[in-house]
Amino acid sequence: MKSDTKSFGDEYALALRRYLEEGGEAPLFRAYQMGRAAVESGMGMLEIATAHQKALLVDLLLMLAPQASARTAQRASEFFAEALAAFEANRRGFKEAASVLRGQNQDLERRVRAADQAYRTVREQLDEHRRIEMLKDEFVSLVSHELRTPLTSIHGALALIPSKLERALPEPAERLLEIARRNSERLKRLIDNILDLQKTESGLVAFDMRPLQVRSLLKQAIDANQPYAAQLGVKLMLGEVAPGLRFEADSDRIMQVLANLLSNAAKFSPPGDSVVVAAGRDGDWVRVTVTDRGPGIPEGFRHRVFQRFAQADSSTTRARGGTGLGLSISKAMVERMRGRIGFDTAEGGGTTFHFELQACEPLQRNEGACLGLP
Amino acid sequence: MPRPPLSRVLLVEDDPDIQVVAWLALSDIGGFTVEVCSSGREALAAVSSFRPDLILMDVMMPDMDGIAALAALRARPAGYNTPVVFMTARAQPHEAARFRQLGSLGVITKPFEPATLAEALRGMWERHFN
């Protein structure tokens, strides 16, 4: 490289000198070519200046010969005017390129700063969000403790009254006692529900996700909730369940979701009727349905079904002992289990609540698919 | 080794109303001999004098809470490994697991059912010793 540079430099100086001596297109072109080659091979400004000096030095000597001097000087000045112009143009180009680069650089810096700022803001918001969630969790936990303490003595005292009575209470007193008992029971459920909702939504409590047999789970849920339905004169029945069906869920939580859906369906069924639970495969999902032939959900209430404390007709729900939190808890739980929940209803034509959870392949084929393994 | 049936229960609870309810549930319905005290510190003294078979103790109490009382009890020389059952209004699943790790037989969640409280304690007692 270095020797190339040197020889190109010499060639350039030689060609330049020839042009200065003789003039003409061909020598000028040659000088130009050699100059370019010298620059491309890595010749620096200092070396180019040396080449120019060499050429000029020869020229200077030539200038001593009077006949050549005028023409040579003319050509030399033309050449340097051109070279200067080219150099100037390059310099302008360089300046422009530099300013474009500077602009791009500043733009990049601005973008980096903006991205950094955005990142910091998001992180602060996340920290703040997490802090608020923890405060909320702590608050709910504390409040529920403060509520449960007096409730423990109310509930306990009411439950102990019969054992302390020497004879039966008069009928009105018995009824009043029953009202107190029923409502302390409801308050207890309400506090439990608020805690459940908070625990599920805050994400601070882990869900124990395992592959579960859908059929046996549904049977279990029906058995557990049959006594409650029987009080309302309603029968819970297992409908069609595809064989070998499994999904991934936390078994306690999914039982709670089923209990909510089953008790809701029973509450809104006419006495003597039945509620049907079924399950089937829908692509990668297992879809569980709970169908009643009750009055259906009124049009105007449908968008609020999963909201907290939303009740289509608060008088009926209150009479049926609901807390108004069952469906919002169910939704939060199903979503924490990476599933979805919804309903189909027709006014006067019954309601089907359904949820979908990720299906697992049958045990023998692919256990890993269900454990969330890649 | 087979143990005699559960008969002496020390109740540790700071809320006076809950004291009454739990005392009735344990003595009237459960038929236990019950002594009541209202803090972990009192409980430590009562363990020596009353010699309970089992301690039913609230977790959150002023002065000395249930967890500190259990630790103090276990730190005593041999002979003070009286089984403890915690009572709490804040039974989150991870808390229940922690109580068991600390060496309690089990957890009673508040509000409890007075009719079945004694039965629940007997159940834990049986499972622990048999």
Residues of chain A found within 8 Å of residue B24, distances taken between Cβ atoms: 156, 160, 163-164
Q: Closest Cα of chain B to A166: distance in Å? A: 14
CA distance linking residue A327 with residue A333, whole number of Å: 10
pLDDT band at A33 (very low <50, low <70, confident <90, very high): confident
What DSSP string describes A266-288? HHTSPTT-EEEEEEEEETTEEEE
Name the CA radius of gyration of chain A, rounded: 45
Chain A residue nearest residue B112, CA to CA? A152
Query: Looking at CA atoms only, how far is residue A203 from chain B in angstroms?
Result: 13
B89 closest CB neighbour out of A145, A199, A205:
A145
Token pair for A300: 């105007």
pLDDT > 70 fraction of chain B, expressed in percent and rounded: 93
Q: In what order do the strands lie in the sheet with B8-12?
A: B33-37, B8-12, B54-58, B84-88, B106-109
pTM score, two decimals?
A: 0.58
* Listed residue (A266, A277, A275, A273) closest to A320, CA to CA: A266
How much of chain A, in percent, has pLDDT values that exceed 70? 79
> With 80 as the cut, is the pLDDT of residue A250 above it?
yes
Q: Do B114 and A160 touch (CB under 8 A)?
A: yes
Closest-approach residue (CA) in chain B for A145: B89
Place of tokens 């609901």: A322
Burial of B114 (0-12, 13-18, 19+ CB in 10 A): buried
Average pLDDT over residues A257-286: 93
Q: Helices A66-164 and B16-24 meet at what angle, rounded to 10?
A: 50
Do the bridges between strand A274-282 and strand A285-292 make them parallel or antiparallel, or are there none, so unpaired?
antiparallel
Question: Distance between CA atoms of A319 and A278, rounded to whole angstroms?
Answer: 28
- Residue A3 — pLDDT band, cuts 50, 70, 90? low
Q: Give A193-210 pLDDT, tens digit per residue.
A: 888 888 788 776 788 899
ipTM surpasses 0.90:
no
Tens digit of each residue's pLDDT, chain B (130 residues): 566 789 999 999 999 999 999 999 999 999 999 999 999 999 999 998 999 999 999 988 888 888 888 888 888 876 678 899 999 887 666 677 778 778 788 899 889 999 999 999 999 998 888 7
What is the DSSP track for A90-135?
HHHHHHHHHHHHHHHHHHHHHHHHHHHHHHHHHHHHHHHHHHHHHH
Among chain B residues, the shortest Cα distance to A208 is held by: B93
Distances in Å between the Cα of A56 and the Cα atoms of A49, A73, A76, A248 are 10, 10, 8, 89
Say which of B18, B90, B114 has its CB closest to residue A141.
B90
Query: In this structure, is the dihedral angle defined by the CA atoms of residues B63, B66, B68 and B73, taken in order, positive or negative?
Result: positive
Is A316's pLDDT higher than 60? no
State the count of interchain CB pairs (< 8 A) between A and B. Answer: 61
Segment A127-181, tens digit of pLDDT: 888 888 778 777 877 777 788 889 999 999 999 988 888 788 888 888 888 888 8
More confident position, A171 or A272? A272
pLDDT over 50 at A368, yes or no? no
What is the reported pLDDT for A372? 46
B-chain residues within 8 Å CB-CB of A200?
A: none
Q: Which of A154, A159, A199 lies nearest to residue B113, judging by beta carbons?
A: A159
Beta-sheet pairing, B106-109 with B84-88: parallel
3-class secondary structure per residue, A78-94? HHHHHHHHHHHHHHHHH
The mean pLDDT of chain B is: 87
Alpha-carbon distance of B64 to B43, in angstroms, equals 10
